[in-house]
């Protein structure tokens, strides 16, 4: 991604650069952008955000959770990224009946006859450098306990066996959030959370053209290796964070005031994302613009838009205070609140309030609709257009009156 000094992420004239400190790391960053990130953005219409977050996760050594309905290319983007990088890849769709052997490998029967419990890990998760687990929240307790160690420590244990995992990042996707407390602990290990929705109507022609080309294309030869990424990841600790520490600390408290459960442990880990953002921009010094990463630390879907607005306002204030400072491209995400989509969802909820059979709704259904309506009203409050915002808020208020 090329950038001018004013509108791009690159270093300013007096900032320390990756190229000066480590020309090899700078060359890896250039290849990663030229041969992996930019081509994937061209192939997957409307998924620039996901591609950037995958790269950020890998370089920071953290994990990424994607929330969204089926058919939104979540797994395809991750798979394509792994194919574009020389690294061992493991993918699996979890069900309620999945067993640990399906992820971590079966018992070695030959060695078991000799009295030794050993696992055959060839081609399985313990040998993967990139892993994608679809529908993570279907994991049962046997898998859950193992995954916590994998995510936290990059370790898999079975009896006396201890496998040190070469895992760079683990990715997962689901169309719902965890409700069970045990699964919430697993969700907490995913520092980055991204909501992926269907593309808007005006993007459909580009989607069809790019999708057809994707079906016909052959995967390009890998231009970046897992070793390159591992070396690049070690460089994040060379990034100078002192210039953003005060602003970051203040923003953490504002994020918590929104109700986001950003613990002290996670707040420290998010600094890795800030450093990785600077590093991928060719800098060894973080700027306030790198705080865009805090948009992706939400816990619940209704927090996404308020968090985006909060972080956006902080970035705008920083830009106003120093208008000559280059603004990171990811500081300006596409508008998340779609008024047309909100209107459709309010209409759908209105229909649910008046079932065609005329039977009254039960208490559970009413509670669920009331909760959903509250979420839609919260999102409507963040619509930029004044007239549309008032209309949607009034519509939500009318429906809420029917629920009382």
Q: Which CATH architecture has domain 27-216?
A: 3-Layer(aba) Sandwich (3.40)
Give pLDDT, residue 130: 95
Cα(364)–Cα(46) distance, rounded to whole angstroms? 37
What's the N-to-C CA distance of the chain in angstroms?
52
Calculate the dihedral angle through the C-alpha atoms of 279, 285, 289, 291, rounding to the nearest 10 degrees: 80
Give pLDDT, residue 211: 60
pTM listed for this prediction: 0.78
Pairing of strands 64-67, 130-134: unpaired
Which pLDDT tens digits describe the chain residue by residue (404 residues)? 333 333 345 666 567 788 888 888 889 999 999 999 988 888 887 888 999 999 999 999 999 999 988 777 888 899 889 888 988 999 999 998 999 999 998 887 777 677 677 788 899 999 999 999 999 888 888 898 889 999 999 999 887 788 899 999 999 999 888 878 778 888 999 999 999 877 665 555 665 665 666 555 555 566 789 999 999 999 999 999 999 999 999 999 999 999 999 999 999 999 999 999 999 999 999 999 999 999 999 998 888 888 988 998 888 888 888 777 777 777 765 555 667 778 888 888 888 777 666 677 677 677 777 777 777 776 676 676 678 878 888 888 888 887 76
Which single residue is written with the structure tokens 């370790």? Answer: 155
pLDDT, one tens digit per residue, over 322-379 is: 777 777 777 765 555 667 778 888 888 888 777 666 677 677 677 777 777 777 776 6
* DSSP code per residue over 276-323: HHHHHTTBSB--GGGGGGGGG--SSGGGHHHHHHHHHHHHHHHHHH-T
Which single residue is written with the structure tokens 């306990």? Answer: 145
Percent helix, strand and coil across the chain, each rounded to 5? 55, 10, 35
Those residues with Cβ within 8 angstroms of residue 233's Cβ, 6 or more apart along the chain or in another chain: 58, 59, 60, 61, 168, 276
Which single residue is written with the structure tokens 């880990």? Answer: 269
Contact 62, 55 (CB under 8 A): no
Cα(394)–Cα(351) distance, rounded to whole angstroms? 17
Q: Write out the residue limits of the CATH 3.40.50.300 domain(s) in the chain.
A: 27-216
């Amino acid at each position: 991604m090329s950038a001018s000094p004013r509108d791009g992420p690159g270093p300013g004239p007096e900032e320390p650069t990756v190229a000066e400190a480590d020309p090899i790391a700078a060359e890896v960053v250039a290849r990663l952008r030229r041969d992996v990130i930019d081509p994937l953005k061209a192939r997957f219409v409307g998924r620039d955000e996901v591609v950037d977050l995958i790269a950020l996760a890998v370089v920071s050594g953290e994990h990424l959770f994607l929330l969204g309905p089926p058919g939104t290319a979540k797994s395809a983007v991750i798979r394509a990224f792994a194919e574009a990088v020389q690294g061992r890849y493991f993918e699996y769709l979890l069900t309620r009946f999945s067993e640990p052997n399906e992820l971590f490998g079966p018992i070695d029967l030959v060695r078991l006859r000799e009295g030794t419990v050993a696992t055959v890990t060839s081609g399985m998760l313990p040998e993967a450098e990139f892993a994608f687990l679809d529908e993570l929240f279907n994991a049962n307790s046997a898998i859950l306990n193992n995954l916590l160690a994998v995510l936290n420590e990059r370790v898999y244990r079975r009896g006396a066996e201890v496998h040190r995992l070469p895992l760079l990042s683990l990715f997962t996707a689901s169309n719902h959030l965890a409700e069970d407390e045990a699964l919430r602990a697993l969700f907490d290990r995913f520092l980055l959370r991204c909501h992926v929705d269907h593309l808007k109507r005006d993007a459909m022609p580009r989607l069809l053209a790019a999708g057809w080309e994707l079906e016909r294309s052959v995967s390009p030869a890998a231009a970046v290796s897992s070793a390159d990424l591992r070396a690049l990841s070690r460089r994040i600790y060379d990034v100078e964070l002192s210039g953003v520490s005060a602003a970051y600390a203040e923003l953490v408290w504002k994020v918590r005031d929104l109700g986001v459960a950003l613990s002290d442990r996670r707040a420290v880990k998010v600094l890795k994302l800030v450093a990785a953002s600077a590093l991928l921009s060719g800098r060894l010094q973080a700027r306030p613009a790198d705080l865009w990463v805090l948009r992706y630390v939400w816990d619940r879907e209704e927090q996404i838009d308020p968090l985006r607005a909060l972080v956006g306002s902080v970035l705008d204030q920083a830009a106003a205070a120093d208008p000559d400072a280059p603004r990171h491209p990811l500081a300006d995400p596409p508008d998340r609140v779609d008024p047309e989509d909100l209107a459709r969802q309010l209409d759908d909820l209105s229909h649910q309030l008046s079932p065609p059979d005329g039977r009254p709704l039960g208490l559970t259904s009413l509670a669920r609709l009331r909760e959903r309506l509250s979420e839609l009203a919260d999102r409507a409050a963040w619509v930029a257009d004044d007239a549309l915002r008032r209309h949607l808020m009034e519509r939500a208020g009318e429906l809420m009156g029917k629920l009382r």
